[in-house]
Protein backbone atom coordinates (compact mmCIF):
# COMPACT_ATOMS: atom_id res chain seq x y z
CA UNK A 1 0.00 0.00 0.00
CA UNK A 2 1.36 3.43 -0.94
CA UNK A 3 0.99 6.65 1.02
CA UNK A 4 1.34 10.24 -0.19
CA UNK A 5 4.25 12.13 1.34
CA UNK A 6 1.90 15.01 2.16
CA UNK A 7 -0.33 12.59 4.10
CA UNK A 8 2.64 11.45 6.19
CA UNK A 9 3.69 15.05 6.78
CA UNK A 10 0.26 15.86 8.20
CA UNK A 11 0.47 12.81 10.44
CA UNK A 12 3.64 14.00 12.16
CA UNK A 13 3.25 17.75 11.76
CA UNK A 14 6.29 18.07 9.48
CA UNK A 15 7.08 20.50 6.66
CA UNK A 16 7.38 19.01 3.16
CA UNK A 17 10.41 19.97 1.09
CA UNK A 18 9.72 18.69 -2.42
CA UNK A 19 6.72 16.97 -3.98
CA UNK A 20 3.91 16.19 -1.49
CA UNK A 21 2.36 13.77 -4.01
CA UNK A 22 5.39 11.46 -3.95
CA UNK A 23 4.29 7.89 -3.22
CA UNK A 24 5.87 6.12 -0.23
CA UNK A 25 5.52 2.34 -0.11
CA UNK A 26 7.92 1.28 2.62
CA UNK A 27 10.51 2.36 5.19
CA UNK A 28 14.24 1.63 5.05
CA UNK A 29 17.65 2.76 6.29
CA UNK A 30 19.22 5.81 4.71
CA UNK A 31 22.17 3.83 3.31
CA UNK A 32 20.13 0.95 1.84
CA UNK A 33 16.92 2.68 0.76
CA UNK A 34 15.44 2.19 -2.72
CA UNK A 35 12.90 4.33 -4.59
CA UNK A 36 9.56 4.34 -2.79
CA UNK A 37 11.20 4.24 0.63
CA UNK A 38 11.16 6.82 3.37
CA UNK A 39 14.10 6.88 5.78
CA UNK A 40 15.34 9.16 8.55
CA UNK A 41 18.52 10.93 9.61
CA UNK A 42 18.87 11.34 13.36
CA UNK A 43 22.54 10.51 13.92
CA UNK A 44 25.47 12.52 12.59
CA UNK A 45 27.31 9.27 11.83
CA UNK A 46 24.93 8.62 8.92
CA UNK A 47 25.14 12.11 7.42
CA UNK A 48 27.63 10.84 4.82
CA UNK A 49 24.82 8.78 3.21
CA UNK A 50 22.45 11.71 2.78
CA UNK A 51 23.74 12.96 -0.56
CA UNK A 52 23.63 9.52 -2.17
CA UNK A 53 20.51 7.94 -0.66
CA UNK A 54 18.05 6.46 -3.16
CA UNK A 55 15.09 7.00 -0.80
CA UNK A 56 12.10 8.88 -2.15
CA UNK A 57 12.01 10.94 1.05
CA UNK A 58 14.12 11.55 4.14
CA UNK A 59 12.89 12.63 7.58
CA UNK A 60 15.45 15.06 8.98
CA UNK A 61 16.14 18.19 10.93
CA UNK A 62 16.42 21.59 9.28
CA UNK A 63 20.20 21.62 9.80
CA UNK A 64 20.62 18.82 7.22
CA UNK A 65 18.23 20.14 4.60
CA UNK A 66 20.85 21.82 2.37
CA UNK A 67 22.63 18.48 1.87
CA UNK A 68 19.50 16.53 0.93
CA UNK A 69 18.84 15.85 -2.76
CA UNK A 70 15.64 13.85 -2.11
CA UNK A 71 12.23 14.97 -0.93
CA UNK A 72 12.25 15.69 2.78
CA UNK A 73 10.01 15.89 5.82
CA UNK A 74 11.51 18.54 8.09
CA UNK A 75 10.82 18.26 11.83
CA UNK A 76 12.45 18.67 15.24
CA UNK A 77 12.61 14.98 16.20
CA UNK A 78 13.24 12.79 13.12
CA UNK A 79 13.46 9.51 15.02
CA UNK A 80 10.15 10.07 16.79
CA UNK A 81 8.59 11.10 13.48
CA UNK A 82 9.92 7.91 11.85
CA UNK A 83 8.45 5.81 14.68
CA UNK A 84 5.00 7.32 14.15
CA UNK A 85 5.15 6.92 10.38
CA UNK A 86 6.28 3.30 10.65
CA UNK A 87 3.47 2.54 13.10
CA UNK A 88 1.00 4.16 10.70
CA UNK A 89 2.26 2.26 7.66
CA UNK A 90 2.63 -1.07 9.47
CA UNK A 91 -0.22 -1.27 12.01
CA UNK A 92 -0.18 -4.11 14.55
CA UNK A 93 -2.38 -7.00 13.53
CA UNK A 94 -5.45 -7.30 15.73
CA UNK A 95 -7.28 -10.60 15.49
CA UNK A 96 -11.05 -10.79 15.69
CA UNK A 97 -12.46 -11.84 19.04
CA UNK A 98 -12.79 -15.51 19.79
CA UNK A 99 -11.27 -18.49 21.56
CA UNK A 100 -9.31 -21.09 19.64
CA UNK A 101 -10.74 -24.62 20.07
CA UNK A 102 -7.42 -25.87 21.46
CA UNK A 103 -7.29 -23.23 24.22
CA UNK A 104 -8.26 -24.20 27.77
CA UNK A 105 -10.38 -21.52 29.44
CA UNK A 106 -11.83 -22.00 32.91
CA UNK A 107 -15.55 -21.53 33.36
CA UNK A 108 -14.67 -19.26 36.28
CA UNK A 109 -12.69 -16.90 34.03
CA UNK A 110 -14.19 -13.75 32.49
CA UNK A 111 -13.14 -13.17 28.89
CA UNK A 112 -14.45 -10.22 26.86
CA UNK A 113 -16.27 -11.31 23.69
CA UNK A 114 -13.92 -9.23 21.54
CA UNK A 115 -10.75 -10.62 23.14
CA UNK A 116 -8.77 -13.26 21.26
CA UNK A 117 -7.34 -16.36 22.94
CA UNK A 118 -4.93 -18.26 20.70
CA UNK A 119 -4.09 -21.92 20.22
CA UNK A 120 -3.15 -23.95 23.32
CA UNK A 121 -3.39 -20.95 25.63
CA UNK A 122 -4.52 -21.61 29.21
CA UNK A 123 -6.77 -19.24 31.17
CA UNK A 124 -7.33 -20.26 34.80
CA UNK A 125 -10.14 -19.50 37.24
CA UNK A 126 -10.64 -15.95 38.43
CA UNK A 127 -8.84 -14.41 35.44
CA UNK A 128 -10.37 -11.27 33.92
CA UNK A 129 -9.56 -10.55 30.27
CA UNK A 130 -10.75 -7.11 29.19
CA UNK A 131 -11.82 -5.70 25.84
CA UNK A 132 -9.70 -6.35 22.73
CA UNK A 133 -6.99 -8.23 24.62
CA UNK A 134 -4.87 -10.56 22.47
CA UNK A 135 -3.52 -13.70 24.15
CA UNK A 136 -1.20 -15.52 21.78
CA UNK A 137 -0.35 -19.19 21.32
CA UNK A 138 0.90 -21.11 24.32
CA UNK A 139 0.34 -18.34 26.87
CA UNK A 140 -0.57 -19.28 30.44
CA UNK A 141 -2.60 -16.83 32.52
CA UNK A 142 -2.79 -18.18 36.06
CA UNK A 143 -5.59 -17.72 38.55
CA UNK A 144 -6.87 -14.31 39.63
CA UNK A 145 -4.79 -12.40 37.07
CA UNK A 146 -6.20 -9.49 35.08
CA UNK A 147 -5.41 -8.00 31.68
CA UNK A 148 -6.55 -4.47 30.83
CA UNK A 149 -8.04 -3.20 27.59
CA UNK A 150 -6.00 -3.63 24.37
CA UNK A 151 -3.10 -5.49 26.00
CA UNK A 152 -1.27 -8.25 24.15
CA UNK A 153 0.64 -11.36 25.19
CA UNK A 154 2.47 -12.30 21.98
CA UNK A 155 3.24 -16.00 22.58
CA UNK A 156 4.39 -18.36 25.33
CA UNK A 157 4.02 -15.69 28.00
CA UNK A 158 3.33 -16.79 31.58
CA UNK A 159 1.42 -14.64 34.04
CA UNK A 160 1.69 -16.25 37.47
CA UNK A 161 -1.16 -16.04 40.02
CA UNK A 162 -2.51 -12.61 40.86
CA UNK A 163 -0.60 -10.68 38.20
CA UNK A 164 -2.24 -7.37 37.30
CA UNK A 165 -1.66 -6.02 33.78
CA UNK A 166 -2.83 -2.54 32.77
CA UNK A 167 -4.12 -1.20 29.46
CA UNK A 168 -2.23 -1.30 26.15
CA UNK A 169 0.56 -3.44 27.60
CA UNK A 170 2.68 -5.41 25.14
CA UNK A 171 4.51 -8.50 26.44
CA UNK A 172 6.82 -10.34 24.06
CA UNK A 173 7.42 -14.11 23.77
CA UNK A 174 8.85 -16.05 26.66
CA UNK A 175 8.38 -13.40 29.34
CA UNK A 176 7.50 -14.65 32.82
CA UNK A 177 5.64 -12.24 35.08
CA UNK A 178 5.07 -13.03 38.75
CA UNK A 179 7.35 -15.99 39.35
CA UNK A 180 8.69 -16.47 42.88
CA UNK A 181 11.46 -14.15 43.98
CA UNK A 182 14.79 -15.46 45.25
CA UNK A 183 13.76 -15.50 48.91
CA UNK A 184 15.75 -17.94 51.03
CA UNK A 185 16.54 -18.14 54.75
CA UNK A 186 19.81 -19.74 55.87
CA UNK A 187 19.55 -22.51 58.44
CA UNK A 188 23.08 -23.54 59.43
CA UNK A 189 24.27 -23.61 55.87
CA UNK A 190 21.09 -24.97 54.34
CA UNK A 191 18.51 -22.88 52.54
CA UNK A 192 14.80 -22.75 53.35
CA UNK A 193 12.35 -21.10 50.98
CA UNK A 194 10.62 -17.91 52.11
CA UNK A 195 7.05 -17.78 50.77
CA UNK A 196 6.59 -15.09 48.14
CA UNK A 197 3.18 -13.62 48.92
CA UNK A 198 3.07 -10.43 46.86
CA UNK A 199 2.06 -9.84 43.27
CA UNK A 200 3.34 -8.07 40.17
CA UNK A 201 1.38 -4.97 39.18
CA UNK A 202 2.08 -3.49 35.73
CA UNK A 203 0.63 -0.12 34.73
CA UNK A 204 -0.62 1.18 31.39
CA UNK A 205 1.41 1.42 28.16
CA UNK A 206 4.22 -0.81 29.40
CA UNK A 207 6.31 -2.99 27.08
CA UNK A 208 8.11 -6.10 28.32
CA UNK A 209 10.76 -7.71 26.11
CA UNK A 210 11.25 -11.34 25.21
CA UNK A 211 12.39 -13.68 28.01
CA UNK A 212 12.34 -10.92 30.60
CA UNK A 213 11.39 -12.03 34.11
CA UNK A 214 9.68 -9.97 36.79
CA UNK A 215 9.42 -11.63 40.23
CA UNK A 216 6.42 -11.32 42.49
CA UNK A 217 6.86 -9.48 45.77
CA UNK A 218 7.82 -11.26 48.96
CA UNK A 219 5.26 -9.34 51.04
CA UNK A 220 4.43 -6.12 49.20
CA UNK A 221 4.02 -6.02 45.43
CA UNK A 222 6.55 -5.59 42.66
CA UNK A 223 5.33 -2.54 40.72
CA UNK A 224 6.11 -1.45 37.15
CA UNK A 225 4.54 1.97 36.60
CA UNK A 226 2.91 3.47 33.50
CA UNK A 227 4.98 3.86 30.35
CA UNK A 228 7.96 1.75 31.44
CA UNK A 229 9.83 0.06 28.58
CA UNK A 230 11.79 -3.14 29.29
CA UNK A 231 14.08 -4.78 26.74
CA UNK A 232 14.80 -8.50 26.36
CA UNK A 233 16.29 -10.78 29.02
CA UNK A 234 16.03 -8.40 31.96
CA UNK A 235 15.78 -9.74 35.52
CA UNK A 236 13.69 -7.71 37.96
CA UNK A 237 13.68 -9.16 41.46
CA UNK A 238 11.00 -9.16 44.14
CA UNK A 239 9.65 -5.89 45.54
CA UNK A 240 11.38 -3.72 42.94
CA UNK A 241 9.52 -0.49 42.15
CA UNK A 242 10.10 1.17 38.75
CA UNK A 243 8.74 4.67 38.12
CA UNK A 244 6.88 6.06 35.14
CA UNK A 245 8.51 6.14 31.70
CA UNK A 246 11.80 4.57 32.72
CA UNK A 247 13.52 2.55 29.99
CA UNK A 248 15.84 -0.41 30.66
CA UNK A 249 18.00 -2.08 27.99
CA UNK A 250 18.69 -5.79 27.59
CA UNK A 251 20.42 -8.07 30.10
CA UNK A 252 20.16 -5.59 32.97
CA UNK A 253 19.60 -7.08 36.42
CA UNK A 254 17.91 -5.37 39.36
CA UNK A 255 18.14 -6.98 42.77
CA UNK A 256 15.34 -7.07 45.33
CA UNK A 257 13.65 -4.11 47.02
CA UNK A 258 15.38 -1.46 44.91
CA UNK A 259 13.35 1.59 43.91
CA UNK A 260 13.96 3.27 40.56
CA UNK A 261 12.45 6.67 39.84
CA UNK A 262 10.69 8.24 36.88
CA UNK A 263 12.21 9.03 33.46
CA UNK A 264 15.38 7.01 34.11
CA UNK A 265 17.36 5.11 31.49
CA UNK A 266 19.44 2.05 32.30
CA UNK A 267 21.88 0.74 29.70
CA UNK A 268 22.41 -2.84 28.63
CA UNK A 269 24.05 -5.20 31.08
CA UNK A 270 23.77 -2.83 34.06
CA UNK A 271 23.72 -4.56 37.44
CA UNK A 272 21.89 -2.84 40.29
CA UNK A 273 22.27 -4.15 43.83
CA UNK A 274 19.34 -4.58 46.20
CA UNK A 275 17.72 -2.17 48.68
CA UNK A 276 18.90 0.93 46.80
CA UNK A 277 17.10 4.14 45.92
CA UNK A 278 17.53 5.52 42.41
CA UNK A 279 15.98 8.96 41.93
CA UNK A 280 14.14 10.49 38.99
CA UNK A 281 16.02 11.28 35.75
CA UNK A 282 19.00 9.10 36.63
CA UNK A 283 20.83 7.51 33.69
CA UNK A 284 23.37 4.66 33.80
CA UNK A 285 25.56 3.79 30.84
CA UNK A 286 25.86 0.19 29.70
CA UNK A 287 27.68 -2.34 31.90
CA UNK A 288 27.67 -0.03 34.92
CA UNK A 289 27.74 -1.70 38.34
CA UNK A 290 25.48 0.14 40.76
CA UNK A 291 26.18 -0.67 44.40
CA UNK A 292 24.92 2.49 46.14
CA UNK A 293 21.92 4.78 45.89
CA UNK A 294 21.88 7.64 43.36
CA UNK A 295 19.18 10.11 44.33
CA UNK A 296 20.30 13.10 42.26
CA UNK A 297 19.51 13.38 38.53
CA UNK A 298 22.48 12.83 36.26
CA UNK A 299 24.38 10.52 33.94
CA UNK A 300 26.50 7.92 35.71
CA UNK A 301 29.02 5.30 34.59
CA UNK A 302 30.80 2.76 36.71
CA UNK A 303 32.97 0.38 34.74
CA UNK A 304 36.03 0.31 32.50
CA UNK A 305 35.29 0.54 28.78
CA UNK A 306 36.83 -2.07 26.50
CA UNK A 307 40.48 -1.56 25.54
CA UNK A 308 43.35 -3.53 24.05
CA UNK A 309 44.05 -6.62 26.13
CA UNK A 310 47.66 -5.54 26.74
CA UNK A 311 46.46 -2.18 28.11
CA UNK A 312 43.86 -3.92 30.27
CA UNK A 313 46.52 -6.18 31.80
CA UNK A 314 48.70 -3.17 32.63
CA UNK A 315 45.75 -1.37 34.19
CA UNK A 316 44.82 -4.35 36.36
CA UNK A 317 48.46 -4.73 37.45
CA UNK A 318 48.55 -1.07 38.51
CA UNK A 319 45.31 -1.46 40.46
CA UNK A 320 46.72 -4.47 42.30
CA UNK A 321 49.79 -2.42 43.28
CA UNK A 322 47.66 0.52 44.40
CA UNK A 323 47.70 -0.37 48.11
CA UNK A 324 51.48 -0.68 48.15
CA UNK A 325 51.82 2.59 46.26
CA UNK A 326 49.55 4.35 48.79
CA UNK A 327 51.66 3.09 51.69
CA UNK A 328 54.84 4.33 50.01
CA UNK A 329 53.20 7.71 49.28
CA UNK A 330 52.15 8.13 52.92
CA UNK A 331 55.66 7.27 54.07
CA UNK A 332 57.09 9.82 51.65
CA UNK A 333 54.67 12.49 52.89
CA UNK A 334 55.75 11.86 56.49
CA UNK A 335 59.38 12.26 55.54
CA UNK A 336 58.86 15.58 53.75
CA UNK A 337 59.02 17.85 56.88
CA UNK A 338 62.39 16.43 57.92
CA UNK A 339 63.73 16.79 54.36
CA UNK A 340 62.56 20.40 54.23
CA UNK A 341 64.18 21.15 57.63
CA UNK A 342 67.50 19.75 56.43
CA UNK A 343 67.31 21.91 53.29
CA UNK A 344 66.86 25.13 55.32
CA UNK A 345 69.77 24.48 57.69
Annotated catalytic residues are: 238
CA 176 to chain centre: 15
Tell me if 273 sits within 8 A of 288, measured CB to CB: no
User: How far apart are alpha carbons 337 and 335 in whole angstroms?
Assistant: 6
Bridge partners, residue 52, by sequence: none
Residues 83 and 333: their CA atoms lie apart, in Å, by 60
Distance CA 143, CA 162 (A): 6
Q: What are phi and psi of 127, to 5 degrees?
A: -75, 140
Query: What is the H or E stretch that residue 176 is in?
Result: strand 176-179
Report the C-alpha gap between 163 and 47 in whole angstroms.
46
Burial bucket for residue 272 (CB in 10 Å: 0-12, 13-18, 19+): buried
**CB-neighbour burial class of residue 338 (10 A; exposed 0-12, middle 13-18, buried 19+):** exposed
Q: Are strands 235-236 and 213-215 parallel, antiparallel or unpaired?
A: parallel
163 to 34, 122, 125, 126, 172: CA distances (angstroms): 46, 15, 13, 11, 16
CA-to-CA distance for 113 and 149, rounded, in angstroms? 12
> Which strand (E) or helix (H) includes residue 15?
strand 15-17
* CB-CB neighbours of 197 under 10 Å: 13
Residue ranges of alpha helices (H) inside the chain are 5-12, 78-89, 309-320, 322-344
Amino acid sequence: MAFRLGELAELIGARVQGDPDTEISHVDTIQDATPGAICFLANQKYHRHLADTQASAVILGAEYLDDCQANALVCDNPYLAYARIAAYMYPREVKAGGIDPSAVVSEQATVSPDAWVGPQAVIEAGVVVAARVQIGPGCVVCRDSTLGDDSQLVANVTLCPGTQIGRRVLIHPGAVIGSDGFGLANNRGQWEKVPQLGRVIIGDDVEVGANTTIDRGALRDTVIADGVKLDNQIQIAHNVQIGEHTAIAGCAGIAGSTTIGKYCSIGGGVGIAGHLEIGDNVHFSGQSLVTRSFKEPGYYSGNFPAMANSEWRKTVARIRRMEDMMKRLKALEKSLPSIQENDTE
